[in-house]
Every structure is written in C-alpha cells, then in structure tokens.
C-alpha cells in the first residue's frame, strides 16, 4: 500500500532535483520568478501524466492553485525545501516511515505539563465533553483510546485524537521534537468544547500534510 508520507517525500525531492538539473543545464535561471514558473509547470505536468500515486493528488491540486494565484509569492521552492528537511527528521535512514510509540506521547505530555498545560488522559471522550481548564492551556486524550490504539509493545496501531486548546506552535514544536506529526482535523470545534482536534496516525502517516513547526527561513 502506498503511504502518503513516502510518496509526498518522493514528489518533493524529485521536484527539487529536477529543478536543480534545469538550473545546471541553463534552462531555468537562478531567480524566484523563473523557479516559480518552473515548479508551477512541473506540478501541472506531474498531475497530467500521473507521475505520482493518487494519494498525493489533493496536495498537488492545492499547490497548483497557489502557483496560479500567487506566482512566485507561493514560495513553492521554499515550501518543498522545508518539507524535505522536516520529513527527513522523522523518517529513518532509508527515508521510510517509522513506528510511533506510546513513550513518545508520554514525553509530549510531560513536556506540556512542565510548560503549565493541563493534560487530561483519564476521561472518556464521547459525543461531547466539557472540560474546564481554569484558564490553562489544555490537552485532552481519551482514556479509552490510550488503551485501544496501542499494541502490547506500545506501538500505535490506530489513529489517536489529541484535543487541544492552547498555543498551537508550541505543541507542534514539542510534538515534532518527539518525532510526532499532528494532523489537523478542526481548529476549534470538536467533541471537546473549545478544543480543536488533531490526530496522530500510525507511522505518522496520514493522507495529507501534517502540521510542521513554523518555517522561519527567508522566503525565496
């Protein structure tokens, strides 16, 4: 079965390699406008020729719209370069996905508690949960999911939901430091009142791009 993470990594590395080859051959000048034009055309051609599995097609469509509406301001080269860097940090040496272990989540919980978050893991999350955090930033994980989503070795085998109310860049950074990728489902409304829902998938492999730490590099 094709995995989104490995396929999108193959896509972005192929795009950057072929852009570099186009630079070397003299076909594409080294400037943001020419690079944006090249990558926009590259994406459209990749879609038409179905160079990559259908699992990444929605992401390609997003990038195509960005290229058409924003031009060089879409920053596709910068996006691809940063995605390549981020994925490289959570994949193994062969650039394959790695299992997610319960200990990684436990370290995330501990880091949030050190940062004065209210971390709740002992309550069931049914159709609706209202949890008062007393003004603190809050993370809630369903107690039953913590039992059901891991095998006996502590490996994540089912998607697990994290309900978050707080500074998203902070928890995204802390999660990434533990090689955990959060996939956004909702920003605000979810089964837990005032909390957004994010999912950690087995092998960190969802069907769309996850939330990576903010890219503070200069735009290109």
Structure confidence at residue 109 (pLDDT): 98
**Measured distance CA(74)–CA(165) in Å, rounded:** 30
| 3-state DSSP assignment of residue 44 | helix
Bridge partners of residue 184, in order along the sequence: 198
Going by DSSP bridges, is the β-strand pair 138-140/118-120 parallel, antiparallel, or unpaired? parallel
What pLDDT is recorded for position 81? 98
Q: Quick check: 208 pLDDT over 50? A: yes
What confidence tens digit (pLDDT) does each residue in 132-156 have?
A: 666 789 999 999 999 999 999 999 9
Give the pTM.
0.91
Closest CA to 171 of 190, 156, 184, 159: 184
- pLDDT tens readout for residues 83-135: 999 999 999 999 999 999 999 999 999 999 999 999 999 988 866 666 666 67
Burial class (CB in 10 A: 0-12, 13-18, 19+), 39: buried
pLDDT confidence tier of residue 177, bands split at 50, 70 and 90 = very high
- The structure tokens 């995330």 sit at 108
Please tell me the distance from the alpha carbon of residue 126 to that of residue 138, in angstroms, as a whole number. Answer: 18
- 94 class by beta-carbon count within 10 Å (0-12 exposed, 13-18 middle, 19+ buried): exposed
- What does the mean pLDDT of the chain come to? 93
Q: Which residue has the higher pLDDT, 137 or 194?
A: 137
CA 112, CA 139: separation in Å to the nearest integer? 8
pLDDT given for residue 220 in this prediction: 43
Q: What are residue 160's DSSP bridge partners?
A: 200
- 58-61: Cβ within 8 A, 24+ apart: 58/208, 59/8, 59/208, 59/209, 60/11
Tokens of 109: 């919980």
3-state SS assignment for residue 168: helix
Mean pLDDT along residues 37-58: 98
Please write down the long-range contacts of 105-113, taking CB distance under 8 Å and 24 or more positions apart: 105/141, 105/160, 105/178, 105/180, 105/200, 107/178, 108/171, 108/174, 108/175, 108/178, 108/180, 109/139, 109/141, 111/174, 111/177, 111/178, 112/137, 112/139, 112/171, 112/174
- What's the whole-number mean pLDDT along residues 214-220? 65
What is the pLDDT confidence band of residue 219, given thresholds at 50, 70 and 90?
very low
pLDDT at 217 over 80: no
Alpha helices (H) along the chain: 4-25, 32-49, 57-70, 76-90, 102-114, 143-148, 168-177
For residue range 156-173, list pLDDT tens digits in order: 999 999 999 999 999 999
């Amino acid at each position: 079965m094709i995995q989104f993470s490995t396929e999108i990594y193959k896509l972005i590395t192929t795009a950057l390699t072929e852009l570099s080859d186009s630079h070397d051959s003299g076909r594409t000048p080294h400037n943001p406008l020419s690079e944006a034009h090249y990558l926009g055309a590259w994406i459209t051609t990749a879609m038409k020729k179905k160079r990559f599995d259908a699992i990444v097609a929605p992401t390609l469509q997003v990038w195509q719209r960005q290229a058409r509406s924003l031009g060089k301001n879409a920053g596709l080269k910068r996006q691809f370069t940063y995605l390549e860097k981020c994925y490289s940090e959570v994949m193994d040496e062969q650039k394959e996905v790695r299992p997610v272990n319960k200990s990684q989540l436990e370290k995330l919980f501990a880091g949030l508690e050190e940062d004065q978050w209210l971390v709740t893991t002992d309550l069931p999350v049914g159709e609706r949960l209202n949890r008062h955090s007393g003004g603190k930033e809050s993370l809630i994980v369903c107690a039953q999911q913590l039992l059901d989503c891991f095998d006996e070795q502590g490996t994540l085998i089912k998607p697990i939901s994290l309900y978050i109310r707080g500074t998203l860049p902070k928890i995204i950074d802390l999660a990434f430091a533990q090689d955990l990728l959060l996939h956004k489902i909702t920003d605000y409304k979810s089964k837990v009142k005032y909390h957004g829902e994010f999912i950690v998938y087995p092998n960190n492999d969802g069907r769309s791009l996850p939330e990576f730490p903010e890219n503070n590099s200069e735009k290109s």
